[in-house]
Structure formats: structure tokens, C-alpha cells
Amino acid sequence: MTSSAASEPTPTPRTARLGPLRRMTARRRDEAHRVASPLELFFDLCFVVAIAQAGGELVHAVAAGHAGEGILNYAMIFFAIWWAWMNFTWFSSAYDNDDALYRVVTLVQIAGVLVLAAGVSRAFENHVYLAVWLGYVIMRFALIAQWLRVARGTKGPERTMALRYAGGVLLCQVGWLGLVVLPESGRPWVFLVMAIAEMCVPVYAEKDYVTSWHPHHVSERFGLFTIIVLGETIAASTMAVKSAVDEHDALGELLPIAAGGLLIVFSAWWIYFVVPIHGRLRSSAHAFLWGYGHYLIFASAAAIGAGLEVAVEQAVGKTPISTLAASAAVTLPTALYFLTVWLLHARHFKMGITQQLVLPTTALLVILCTFLHSWAVLAAGVVAALSVAVGVALTARMVTTQGVGTAGRETLET
């Protein structure tokens, strides 16, 4: 991804790329009709396995009363998942030549994701990160191979940028070995240092040359992954409700949770996709912060599903935690999601202090819903839905009073 307004690339026209093996040169940033490829969609889908494993382990930790430890482990594992996805997404936006070798190397990266997913349980429960690290080795060496292909097919500043990426990724992968060999007490510090180092690699690599990522393509890829995460949230909470109904016949206790959860997820989808964010990504600096900020969006969206599972288990007596703790497992990630989407998306399209305050106020009210005991999830869902309705009403009033045209409506946040 990008980090500065450095020299722009001069990509090879897409129409010139023919044959099963092709030079890996940059795609055009203004390429028309650029959309996610079937391989990219398949890549995203395979990440669901790892996300589901991380969410499931978070449920177990919170339900057992170990919320602090569970959240820390979840943050570490989800960073590994998110960062691997980020690396591929920004690379493919700039250099996807779709030849046979590119496809094979991408499939190798998918295999690494599945190895990582297989090690999530041991990382959570026993703090053994060997399988997670091995999965990362597979993914990162495949990524290094891709960057070396770029270096081979380019020259000048672009080649230097590709070599910096390859070297930075390799050094960071060696650093992650600390999670395997160092004492358990030092591993959170290893994570903190290495997470910062990982995010500094793009800053260093692209300081003299900016990759030709495609704004519309990148925003679509992030949007599709948001849908996948929200879909996993719905699937996980649905299975939890089904299991509770089958085993405990507690439909009355579960209906408020199910209804509130649906309202939360529907509102989460609405506020994310209502704005045409790709227009804002033409700025390299904004794209940099926007991409990194999605760690909180993706992690909180997945955590909402885990929280709904915890709320269901608490409602039927399967966990000893309090109603307040179970409610917080839903309301806190929901508030974080709303606030982060506002910071990254909505605030750029809000007009006037009233519109600007809708989502921050919603986040605050959702947190306050935590104290409504068994009605907390339903109340949070109603608040979320009302925030969408208020946004729609404010936008409609602005269109009416100011005469905003069709083009203007597309840039107004509801």
C-alpha cells in the first residue's frame, strides 16, 4: 500500500499482457472497469476459516471469565490474519498479472492461511504459536516471491521499492520467531514490536516510489471483506441461537438477543456502504491511514459475532459470567465499529455538526445499553437502527432544503 506522494509509476498497458507467464509490471491506476477477480474472492473466502477460529476462541475465553486474556490473544491472532490479507490485497491491486505462476503462488498463500487457522486454538489455549508461525512462513515467503518477480521485471526506483518490500517482509518474519522461542511473559512485547515493524515496511519501501494501486478496486476489496466478516458474524450467532433452542428450549430468552443482533449487523452494513469512499483514496496519505484503520473495523465486526454467542450462552445458563459482562461483549465491539467507521468513512461526508454527531452519539448510547441487563442487546440494536433512520432523515432534509442534485446525493452520508 502507499505511504507518500512519491513518484508515480508508469505501468504497462493491461492489453499487452499475454501468455501463461508474463513480466510482473504495474497495472494502471486509472484502469477502467477494475473489479475483484475470482481468485481474490476465493482468497478472501478462505480467510473466513481463520476468522471463525479466532472468534470461536474469543467466545470460549470470555464465557469462561477470562475476557482480558482472551481479548489480548484475539488482538494478536486477528492482527496476523488481517495483515496477511492486507499484504496480498494491496499487492494484487498494483501487480496482479493473472498468469499461471501468480495464481499458483496465491494458492500457496491460501494454504498458509489454512495452516495458520489450524494453529489458532493452541495459540489461544496453550500460547503455542508454532503452527501460526509456520502458516505465516508459507504466506510470507510466497509474498516475497511475488515481490522478487516485480523486482526482476522492473528497474530503477520501482525495482528498489520491490526489493525493500521483499527484504522488509523477510526480516519481520524472522522477528516473529520470538513468539515461538521466547518465554511466554515476553510474547506480548514481541507482538507489539513486530506489529509496529510490519506496518513500517510499506512506509520505508514506498518512500521513493508509490505502487499503482487502484482506488475503486481497493475500496471494493475492503468492502467485500467487510461483508465476509459480517456474514461470519451472522452465521456464528445463528448457530449459537439454534444450538440454545435445541438444547434448552429457551426461545423467549433468545428472541431479544437474536433481534438485537440482526439490527446491529444490518446497521453495521448500512453505515459502511452508504458512502462512495473510493473517491477519498486518491490521496496516498489518506489511503495509508484508511487501510490501517480497518484492523479495528474488521476485528470489531468479527467480535460482535463472538459477543452475540456469549450473550446467548449466558442467557441459557451455559456460562457463569454476569449479564453485564455478556452484554458488554456485544455493546463494546459494536460501539468501536460505529466509531471507527465514522472516523474512516462517514466524517468525510457529513455536513454540519448535527450529522457529524450521529455516529459518535450512537456509539455512546450503545455503550450505555450495556446496563440494561437482559434487554441490552435488543436496545443496542434499536439504537443502531435509529441512528440509520436519523441519518436518512437528515440527508433527506438537506437534499430538500439545499436542492442537492443526484451527484450530490451520492456523496452525502445518511
205 and 246 belong to one structural domain: no
Q: What is the 3-state secondary structure (H, E, C) of the chain?
A: CCCCCCECCCCCCHHHCCCCCCCCCCCCCCCCCCCCCHHHHHHHHHHHHHHHHHHHHHHHHHHCCCHHHHHHHHHHHHHHHHHHHHHHHHHHHHHCCCCHHHHHHHHHHHHHHHHHHHCHHHHHHHCCCHHHHHHHHHHHHHHHHHHHHHHHHCCCHHHHHHHHHHHHHHHHHHHCCHHHHCCHHHHHHHHHHHHHHHHHHHHHHCCCECCCCCHHHHHHHHHHHHHHHHHHHHHHHHHHHHHHHHHHCCHHHHHHHHHHHHHHHHHHHHHHHCCCHHHHHHCHHHHHHHHHHHHHHHHHHHHHHHHHHHHHHHHCCCCCCCHHHHHHHHHHHHHHHHHHHHHHCHHHCCCCHHHHHHHHHHHHHHHHHHHHHHHHHHHHHHHHHHHHHHHHHHHHHHHHHHCCCHHHHCCCCC
Same domain, 197 and 246: no
Do 153 and 58 fall within a single domain? Answer: yes
Asked if the structure places residue 31 within a domain, the reply is no
pLDDT, tens digit (0-9, with 9 covering 90-100), for 254-266: 888 989 999 999 9
312 assigned to some structural domain: yes
- Counting residues of the chain whose pLDDT is more than 70, the rounded percentage is 88
Q: Residue 369 is part of which domain span? A: 216-409
Identify whether residues 203 and 228 lie together within a single domain: no
Does 278 map to a domain?
A: yes
Q: Which of 213, 229, 249 is the last residue in one of the domains?
A: 213
Count the domains in the chain.
2
On the question of pLDDT at 134 being above 50, the answer is yes
Q: Is the same domain home to 254 and 187?
A: no
User: Residue 84's pLDDT is what?
Assistant: 92
22 in any annotated domain = no
Query: Quick check: is 81 in a domain?
Result: yes
Res 30 pLDDT > 90: no
Same-domain status, 220 and 146: no
Q: Does 266 reside within a domain?
A: yes
The answer to whether residue 70 is domain-embedded is yes
One domain for residues 137 and 261? no
Please report the pLDDT score of residue 285 as a whole number: 66
Mean pLDDT for all residues in the chain: 85
Asked if the model's pLDDT at residue 386 lies above 70, the reply is: yes
Which of 180, 213, 246 delimits the end of a domain? 213
Predicted local confidence at residue 401, as pLDDT: 65
| pLDDT 10s digits, 83-114 | 999 999 999 999 988 889 999 999 999 999 99
Question: Which CATH number covers residue 350?
Answer: 1.20.1410
367-379, pLDDT tens digit by residue?
A: 999 999 889 999 9
Same domain for 373 and 301: yes
The string of pLDDT tens digits covering residues 281-337 is: 766 667 778 889 999 999 999 999 999 999 998 988 888 899 999 999 999 999 999
> Is residue 206 domain-shared with residue 275, that is, in the same domain?
no
Question: Last residue of a domain, which of 183, 213, 243?
Answer: 213
Indicate if 242 and 367 belong to the same structural domain: yes
**So what's the pLDDT on residue 169?**
95
Residues 242 and 146 in one domain: no
- Average pLDDT of span 137-160: 93
Rounded to an integer, the average pLDDT of 76-87 is: 93
User: Distance (Å, rounded) from C-alpha 110 to C-alpha 115?
Assistant: 9
Q: Same domain for 316 and 202?
A: no
pLDDT computed for residue 402 by the predictor = 62
pLDDT value of residue 251: 75
- Confirm whether 23 is domain-assigned: no
